[in-house]
Structures are given as structure tokens and as C-alpha cells.
Structure 1
């Protein structure tokens, strides 16, 4: 199944989700979407950045993290955070930070409320699905394992393993191709402006989770619907109307 780049829609609205019926697939980001991992990433960044004297040793704030780090790809972050540092040294910092995250995650990582109920709903309707992330593969696999979702996702797409990571559409286009789904019957769950722009650029409406990032930033990036978590009545109302295709092809 060949997936071509689709033009950026002028504006997705909440009604765009209802037009997906019959629903065929759902794509998920991982960090901040399946789990509230941003506090762990923030702690790791804050401690390691302070150790190297970033910002004259003044700890970064959550606002700085949200505006400048959250949702970013490590190669891009290495350049933006350390424009005057040797790039390989900056990449090594990012690798150290990811290792620190993996050390902290087992004791702190928690699923977003309602996630496992939603996963059971998806399985019961035989919907196609994939996890699509800018996180390193080691992080992504660890998070899915801690959440008990390793077997739930038949496909895991890593941004750095694509030609371009989010906010480009490549990871989502690759996921559609691998699971054999149409963007006309698929939507995306994301929590960052970068991820939302990627999903929208791939031609799909995106549901934005306001896990940590400001709702306005997610709306400005093109989110069709904002929800607090997977138990949000707004999401449940939309899902009831989508009439997913069942295993035997019936609606």
C-alpha cells in the first residue's frame, strides 16, 4: 500500500473525527499520550542540565521544558539546546539523559487514566493500531513493557528510524503503510504540538491530550479535539459514533 504525502488541511474540526466512520485504525504517540512521562523526562533534563552548568546552573522550569523540549527529537534538541557545543558531545548528553530516564521510569511511569479500558475497546473491535514516537527505541520498548502493551501494538515506529522524525509526517505515514490503513479512516492520539503537526501533515485528525502541554498550543498545532484523558466524555461520545469495522468486515 503506497502512502503519499497529503496536503495540510486548512482546519480540522471536531466533526472531522465523525467523518472517519467506519473507523479502521488508531495511531498513538507514547510519551505523554499513553503515559504521563513528561515529569520523568523533566526531572532527568533538569538534573543533568544543572550538572553541566546550563543556564548558568539555574534549574530549568516546567514552562521552559514544555516550550523548548517536550515532543522534540533528540538530534534537533542537541542542536537547539547546545548550539555552541560539539554535536557528538551534545548527542552524548542526550544519550545520558535517556539512560537516566530509563533508570527512573520503572518506579514512576503510570498509564494515562482510561488507557487500558480504551485498549480493550480497540481489541474488541479489531481495530488496527500502531505506536509512533520520537523516543529512542530502548525507551519506547521499556515504556510499552511497563504499561503491559508490548503485545497490544503489532507495529512500533521510531522517528529516528524514518527519513524525518516528527513534526514531519514520515513516522505516521510509515505506520499507515505498515498496518495497511487508510488515513481517511484513522485518527491519532498525541500530546505535543510537534506530534500533532506530524499527524495533521499526514492527513489525519488528531486528538490532543492535555497531559502537560497547554491546550492552546495543541489547538494551534491543529488538534481536532482536546481531552484530559481517555475517560473524557468528549472522546467517549465520538467513539460511540464511529462504528468501527468488525473482524468480518461488517459495520
Structure 2
């Protein structure tokens, strides 16, 4: 009983630390608004264990934003294999031809490219030169990057014309 109480106290402290330390990438809420305004389906695809992923999503206030959470460890193969992204396509019932991915990890970019989808790489955790080796479609510093918004504007225009 004492052990479980200590464990609970440690978990409470870790959760408190996460909530204090986790900050959204610049422009995240502008991007989520754009995604919602354009009615896009969305999934969080991660190699993090489910409790960690759900804690991060909740801490950032994105619980209602994602339609699904796909955990790499719950797929046959985790990233860098394409399996988690292919599962997301299946669960969301969307085509890879109308999908794009945001990734900040080398294994995630590899997985997205292997799944045949355009990948927007974020330089928030890894140096640009390492990420570029994995062939992302676009590399950005954060979600306010003008290159990203130029492309999103083009997508919006094409959708309006269709």
C-alpha cells in the first residue's frame, strides 16, 4: 500500500512537471484552427506509449482536436515502418493522395515517406541536415513558417475551385 501511494505521488509530480514544461510549438493553434475550419480529418500518430501521448494531447488542450490516436507500439511495426501512418489512413478512411503529415522525428519522417505521403518536417528536435536526409516534402521551423502558409493557401484555393 505504501508503495502505491509513493508511486501515485511520483506520477502526480511528473504530470505536474509535464503541464508546467510542455509548451506548444509556435503557431500550433493557428494551424489547428485552419485544419478545423477546412474540415480535415486528423489523427495523432506517435511511438509514445498511449498514457504519455494522451497526457501530452490533454496538456496542450488538443483532446477534442484529434479524431484518433494511433500508437506505433499497437501496430505490427512502429515507426520508422509506415504501419502507423497506414493504420491512420485506414481508421480515418482517407486516401494518402489527400493527406499530409507533420513530423519532428527522423523515424517519423521515414515512416511518412515510406507510406507515400507528403511530410512536413519540423526542426524543433533535430538539426535540419539530419531531417533533410529523410526527404521530407518541406522543412519548417514552426507552424508560423511562411512557406507552410503559402502551401496551405494554395491547398485552400484548389479546394475552393474543385
TM above 0.5, one fold?
yes
Equivalents in 2 of 1:229, 1:118: separation in Å? 10
Q: Closer, same or farther in 2 for the Cα pair 1:159/1:110, shift >3 Å?
A: same
* Match of residue 96 from structure 2: 183
1:105 aligned to which of 18, 31, 35: 18
Bigger fraction of residues in helix: 2
Q: CA shift at 1:101, angstroms? A: 5.7
Q: CA shift at 1:244, angstroms? A: 7.4
* Match of residue 4 from structure 2: none
- Find runs of 4+ consecutive structure 1 residues off by over 4 angstroms: 98-103
* Match of residue 138 from structure 1: 51
Deviations 1:156-204 (A, max 9, x none): 0001110010000000000000001111111100011110000001110
Structure 1 runs not aligned, ≥5 long: 1-97
Matched length: 152
* Match of residue 155 from structure 2: 242
Larger Rg belongs to: 1
Equivalents in 1 of 2:12, 2:95: separation in Å? 36
Q: CA shift at 1:99, angstroms? A: 9.3
Contact 1:184 1:204 in 2 (8 A): yes
Q: CA shift at 1:250, angstroms? A: 7.6
Give the CA RMSD over aligned residues: 2.1
* Match of residue 159 from structure 1: 72
Q: CA shift at 1:243, angstroms? A: 2.7
TM-score by length of 2: 0.87
TM-score by length of 1: 0.57
2:27 aligned to which of 114, 117, 120: 114
